[in-house]
Structure 1
Amino acid sequence: MSDRDEHIIEAAGRCRVVVRDGRVVEVGEPQIEDCPLARRFACPIREMTPDAIRENIEARIRAFGMCTPKREVLAEPDFVLFGASELLSGSVRQGLLDAAVIVSDGAGTLVTRNPALIQGIGGRMSGLLKTSPIREVIARIEENGGVVLDPKTAAIDQVAGVALAATLGYRRIAVTTAVAAEAAAIRDRFPDVVIVGVHLTGISREDAIQMTGAADLVTACASRYIREEAAKTALLQAGTSIPVFAMTRAGKAIVLAKAEETDQPLIIHGARLPVPGSQSPEPLC
């Protein structure tokens, strides 16, 4: 395993954060000024400043050990209704999917069929660009039914992760990715995989076109281009402030299954997409 413990995250507002040895050592400038979801975090970000984002990341480190050997990897409750981890954990729980390929700090790409592991990792994780292997975290993931792609390096490679899932015998596989070219490569190699585009704030129009063309589900985050491009062909929109778009029938089935699972009151009606919310991230970028 690598001697250097370093984790690079894109946090709220696509702000680059570096964590080394359990300490936040670098915080960049956020690309947006306000986010309704960030205001609802356990440690709320009410103003998009480097100091507020630092405080949020430090609170996550204290609360559940993010980027440290104390990382908690299981969770049951939904953090939001139509988040990527909520959709995937619900679909695995209901039998629509066999397994999910996700990414964890301290482990990199992994495959799991445990809904609590999907939610415990994905529901608490911001966009992860790079991570280092943490032996205790990898052991905890494996104890709870996860298979890590590369325990020695904690590599993040979602194409290889899907290949691993197939090797393990899974057929109905979902995978998350924040990279449009990676989504396209997965679709080309594994036509039947459910692809979920995540952490898309700041994506270019060209990449938004590629992502919405390849993915089954896309989270709009604070992206103007995802909203514009997804709305052209999306079959369904879930949520309004930070919408999730179902681009295919497979994606639509996952959203509707989550709607069936929840006890929250919902409204479903036809509309021209995208349907804006009363609150959205500002500015969209």
Structure 2
Amino acid sequence: MDEHIIEAVGKCRIVIRDGRVVDVGMPRISSCPLARRFACPVDEITPEAVRDNVQNRIDSFGMCTPLRELTSEEIFVGFGASEVISTSLKSRFIDAAVIACDGAGTVVVTRPDMAQGIGGRMSGLIRTTPIPEVINRIIEGGGIVADPLNASLDPLAGVLAAKNAGHEHLVVTIHDPEDAKRVREHDPDAIIIAVHTTGYSAGDAEMVRQYADIVTACASGTVREICGPYAVLQAGSSVPVYVLTPAGKHLILLRMAAIDYPLFTTHADLPVSGERCPKPLV
């Protein structure tokens, strides 16, 4: 069966089959400043609005279908994980990125435009099934698919595949905090970015605080409470990105250097909270 499950826009569980949204769960938050800036904006987070947004992604760039666009130069968020990763690849500070892709599972990419094309427009991928056309184009583009038969999601398998291919300096995105621990124990030098953290328990937040280098706060209250005070740098305030280590800080500084619009920096006690945070925090 062609079935893909993602979490998007307020921690909604969304099921996609054969290029159509077939089920949308109830959102856990009602508003988000980032959601208002989507190509298909979501002002009030309702199941109907989420369905329209996700179907628009399917129709516009082929998410979860054989027509999936895999490369992009478009910047969606100033300090989004895909933007930070693509900049780091472009600067050659890292050799490869281990990320998730609908239709392929865990993949290893070395091209900045592929990191941005895969990650920039995708929400939290929970489960996916193999799409041969997507897998073949990733491989033809120089990427690696860790498990082409099952399209499984396993960051550690991606790390092992990257190492086997000769890539030493890696950045790895994780959603499950246990994966941060597994990756760190196998590769102490990997730069780990925790993404899609809405709904994290206190234990989840504590684990990524210990093992991740960068944590996106999303709509997580526990990440703000537990990770925020340990940040050595924070990007953004409404939906903050907390940087916890010098290696993560270097990635953000590379991203800052690549941004061509004005930036404001200052010293502050962290974390700093913005006025337009997602509501409620969960």
The TM-score by the shorter chain falls in which range?
over 0.9
> How many equivalent residue pairs?
282
**1:119-268 alignment, distance < 5 Å:** 119-268=116-265
Code of the residue aligned with 1:39 in structure 2: it is: R
SS of equivalent residue, structure 1 residue 128: strand
Name the structure 2 match of 1:48.
45
Code of the residue aligned with 1:245 in structure 2: it is: Y
- CA deviation after TM superposition for structure 1 residue 78, in Å: 1.1
Distance 1:61 1:85 in 2: 19
SS of equivalent residue, structure 1 residue 9: strand
- CA deviation after TM superposition for structure 1 residue 102, in Å: 0.4
Query: Which one of 9, 14, 18 corresponds to residue 15 of structure 2?
Result: 18
1:138-191 CA distance string (max 9 Å, x none): 112112221101111111100111111111101110100011111011111111
Q: Which runs of 5+ in 1 are unaligned?
A: none
Query: Which one of 56, 81, 89 corresponds to residue 92 of structure 1?
Result: 89
Code of the residue aligned with 1:228 in structure 2: it is: E
| RMSD (Å), alpha carbons | 0.7
Name the structure 2 match of 1:78.
75
- CA deviation after TM superposition for structure 1 residue 23, in Å: 1.0
SS of equivalent residue, structure 2 residue 74: coil
Code of the residue aligned with 1:19 in structure 2: it is: I
Name the structure 2 match of 1:271.
268
- CA deviation after TM superposition for structure 1 residue 232, in Å: 2.2
Distance 1:93 1:271 in 2: 30
Name the structure 2 match of 1:57.
54
Name the % identity.
Answer: 52
- CA deviation after TM superposition for structure 1 residue 213, in Å: 1.0
Distance 1:259 1:233 in 2: 21
1:59-88 CA distance string (max 9 Å, x none): 001100100111000000211110000000
Q: Which runs of 5+ in 2 are unaligned?
A: none
1:82-125 CA distance string (max 9 Å, x none): 00000000001011111000000000000010000000000011
